[in-house]
Amino acid sequence: MSRKKSIVPAERGVKLIHNPVLNKGTAFTAEERKIFGLRGLLPPRIVSQKLQVKRVLENIRSKPDDLERYLYLTSLQDRNENLFYRVVMDYLSELMPIIYTPTVGLACQSYGHIYRRPRGLYISSQDKGSIKEILYNWPHRDARVIVVTDGERILGLGDLGTDGMGIPIGKLSLYTACAGISPTLCLPITIDVGTNNQVLLDDELYLGLRGNRLRGVEYQALLDEFITSCAQVFPRALIQLEDFATHNAFTLLNKYRHSTCLFNDDIQGTGSVALAGLLSATRITHQAFTDQKIVFLGAGEAGIGIADTIVEAMMDRGLSKEEARARCWFVDSQGLVCETRRDLQSHKRPFAHTHQPIDTFLEVVEQIKPSVIIGVSGQAQMFSEKVIRIMTANNDRPIVFALSNPTSKSECTAEQAYTWSEGRAIFAGGSPFNPVTIKDVTFYPGQGNNVYVFPGIGLGVLYSESTRVSDRMFLEAARIVSESVSLEELDKGMVYPSFTRIREVSAHIAEAVTHVAIDEGLTQKTLPENLVEDIRSHMYLPNYAEYL
């Protein structure tokens, strides 16, 4: 898949130029222009892809803001996918914040106003009984990775309805850029069941259904039909559930995880990437991972997903489930999650400890004395100066993960964490933060971005032809990510490896996932002599094909 190859395109002339999968723009050779009716349709000079990249970068960097850069890149993706991925892969650290967090959040908030060309599939509650027919409208018959959202909990921004389509589009771009899954195998889907966001309902340019969200039995029946139809139309596809509200996210995951090749990135992917960061942080502190006491701010799908993953990892290291859960404490909108509470949802109850009620996060940090605080609340600035100073007083190297995104929702900034801890905090954010210098020492904050995990897991599932996505795969992914952080990176305070190495990290995650699939009887795959090298050979590279 990654090698340069010769093909004969079915289209000619303008249709060939307008096909983003086949288009090479000004890079079409003289012979290709003659054979495929392109002469006169392009400027006469033949330009290499390398020079095309230079032109694209010049345009991106001349834009006045990140939203304009996002729009330019999506337009490029619409007309020339190979060039889009060449640019993104070569300049991933610079462009990932544009094609995904945090800029994608702003793009989703403006989606109905910046809409240009359709991408992906839209399935609405009006399509009940016809979902299979709609899936057959997708032009690529072998969709292998489907990212689907109903738009109810987009990042930390809430209910954006159909405007949330930017999320599955962005996620799938990362599957390709970071793990080499061909864009023709990727399918973004938004399920429109209405929205409870009155601002959108009042906006004449909003593109979704005008009405409140479908709930209950009707909602579940629609999702049942969707999952069943995907299995029939795309039987080899992996389904990633993305940005569903907590009450639906757990229900859908628990219902389908053992019968369908499916996972929820907000629960399992977030859990894996947070575990990876925590494992790396304990490499810096030289403390046992199983000795950590963790307080979570936020008890939704991200927080519970992280805690469940941490519990599994601690059990792997010899603790009982009860001992591992005792190390995880939660604070929600009502205060400490404890046994005396009668308002607890089912996903919170396993972490309800015997303790007197505590109303505020600050008081919980004072009394529980955690070594780690993890923010997944979507509430900005909740890790106050006093919280960080208490953490620093109780720990030589306090671990502070402010994982809510976009940046405007972060519980604190990297600069605040490092300044208030006098450079002692080990920090990771959900969005990117610039390096911070304290007392002539420069710290490089990590980004707890799920992109470290889900592309590699997807690649491994596709390569191994696994029939399911198991919990063990997420534990192995976390281990690989943490082990990929070099000693030099740890010395800089980094808990995640550089994005420049992410495709290599993804290849090793895919290797581990393949072993898990074989060990757990989820595939009949026979291992080649050099597994990771064979995986690399299947990874897409955005080289132009020769049309002969």
Q: Which of 70, 100, 256, 547 is an active site residue?
A: 100
| DSSP letter (8 states) at residue 525 | P
**Residue 100 falls in the annotated catalytic set:** yes
| Helix H or strand E encompassing 264 | strand 262-264
Q: Which of 70, 85, 111, 171 is an active site residue?
A: 171
Report which of 7, 17, 34 is spatially closest to residue 548, judged by C-alpha positions: 7
C-alpha of 506 from chain center: 13
The torsion angles phi and psi of 536, rounded to 5 degrees, stand at -60, -40
Give CA–CA dist 357/240, Å, rounded. Answer: 37
What one-letter code names the amino acid at 516?
Answer: V
Residue/partner pairs of 317-322 with CB below 8 Å, 24 or more apart: 317/289, 317/290, 318/290, 319/290
Give CA–CA dist 394/204, Å, rounded. Answer: 53
Write the CA distances from 52 to 33, 38, 68, integer angstroms.
18, 18, 19
Q: Positive or negative CA dihedral for 220, 224, 230, 233?
A: negative
| Helix H or strand E encompassing 336 | strand 335-336
How many residues are given for the chain?
Answer: 548
At 301 the three-state DSSP class reads helix
So which residues are the catalytic ones? 100, 171
